[in-house]
Amino acid sequence: MDYFQAVQAFLRIVETGSFVKAAAQLQVHPNAVTKQMQALESHLQVKLLNRTTRTVTLTPEGSAYHTRMSRVLDQWLEAESDMAVSRSRPRGRIRVDMGTTIATLLVIPALHDFHQRYPDIQIDIGASDRTADLASESIDCVIRGGHLPDSALIARGLGSLAFVTCATPAYLTTHGTPRHPAELEEGHTLVRYFFPGSGKQNRLALLKGDEQVSVEGRHIVAVNDSNAYLAAGLAGLGVIHTLRFMVQPHIDAGTLVPVLTQWSAPPNPLSVVYMPNRHLSARVRVFVDWLVEVFAAHPHVQQ
């Protein structure tokens, strides 16, 4: 027995006073309505209707059941209507997490456009360089860089970000401009980056054709935040190797100068990652689609 259909049949019979009229409204054969009522009464183990050749009336139990189920059906239909509205005009709160520079330089500057499209969605952005856990922290989606480990999570590619090695003019005047990565091992300092949580330091690895060089170098400062990393480079504390979109304004202004331009690191792939829920909420789905659109249009994101 389809319980919902049986209840609908019961309510239509009471409303129309006729099995035949109820069947017509439900667009089924009268025999189907009769069988649904028999199944419902058998399931409830109570008689709901008194039926004669001319009339259909409620039993006392049927009257009480009708009152309660009328409210339930109204709430059911209202919920379905709300879901339809939600699909056409998503609303509610989204919790997202991403790196600090991704948030401040790529996503947040474009958020006005998202708000114009979806004014009923509120976004809570966690901006840090740590790796957030979607399940334990109830996060809807995250933007992650690098190659993702095999997991049950769903990932949509956003493109890749290029790296650049640079330093301040004053630093280069004092220490000279390196022509080969190996020169960074002596006579130069690097600003070092270590990952929040693990403390693992990021080693500089550069490619030129078939030649690959990994540089340890020495450092006078190490940080675990991308904004602090940039600040250390701008302060002349050493050579930095970071995402080009992050430093391009400073390169354009002349406060940072690219070095080792014939050498490069593999681009950093970006993905938006979310849990493998079969029914992704409309608000998260439109936000993910919007992220794909924003990153595809950005000049520093390679597709």
pLDDT band with cut points at 50, 70 and 90 for residue 149: low
Check pLDDT > 80 for residue 200.
no
Find the helix packing angle between 3-16 and 30-44, rounded to 10°.
110
Q: Over the stretch 207-259, which tens digit does the pLDDT of each residue have?
A: 888 888 888 888 999 998 889 999 999 999 999 999 998 999 999 999 999 99
**Model pLDDT, residue 296:** 92
Average pLDDT estimate for 113-134: 87
**9 pLDDT exceeds 60?**
yes
DSSP string of the chain? --HHHHHHHHHHHHHHT-HHHHHHHHTS-HHHHHHHHHHHHHHHTS--EEE-SS-EEE-HHHHHHHHHHHHHHHHHHHHHHHHHHHHHS--EEEEEEE-HHIIIIIIGGGHHHHHHH-TTEEEEEEESSS---HHHHT-SEEEEESPPPS-S-EEEEEEEE-EEEEE-HHHHHHH---SSGGGGGSS-BB-EEB-TTT-PBPPEEEEETTEEEEE--B-S-EESSHHHHHHHHHTTSSBEEEEHHHHHHHHHHTSSEEE-TT-B---EEEEEEE---SS--HHHHHHHHHHHHHHHH-TTEE-
Residue 119 — pLDDT band, cuts 50, 70, 90? Answer: very high
* Per-residue pLDDT at 25: 85
Evaluate if residue 148 carries a pLDDT over 80. no
45 vs 298: CA distance, rounded Å: 65
pTM, two decimals, is: 0.66
Mean pLDDT in residue range 269-278: 81
Query: What average pLDDT does this structure show over 148-177?
Result: 88
Q: How confident is the model at residue 134 (pLDDT cuts 50, 70, 90)?
A: confident
107 pLDDT above the threshold of 60: yes
Collect all residues with Cβ–Cβ distance below 8 Å to 197 and sequence separation of at least 6: 130, 131
pLDDT at 59 over 60: yes
Looking at residue 73, its pLDDT comes to: 78
Q: Which domains does the chain have, with CATH numbers?
A: 3-84 (1.10.10.10), 94-154+273-302 (3.40.190.10), 163-258 (3.40.190.10)
Split at pLDDT 50, 70, 90, the class of 67 is confident
Average pLDDT over residues 2-20: 88
Closest CA to 131 of 111, 105, 149: 149
Quickly state the pLDDT bin for 116 (edges 50, 70, 90). Answer: very high
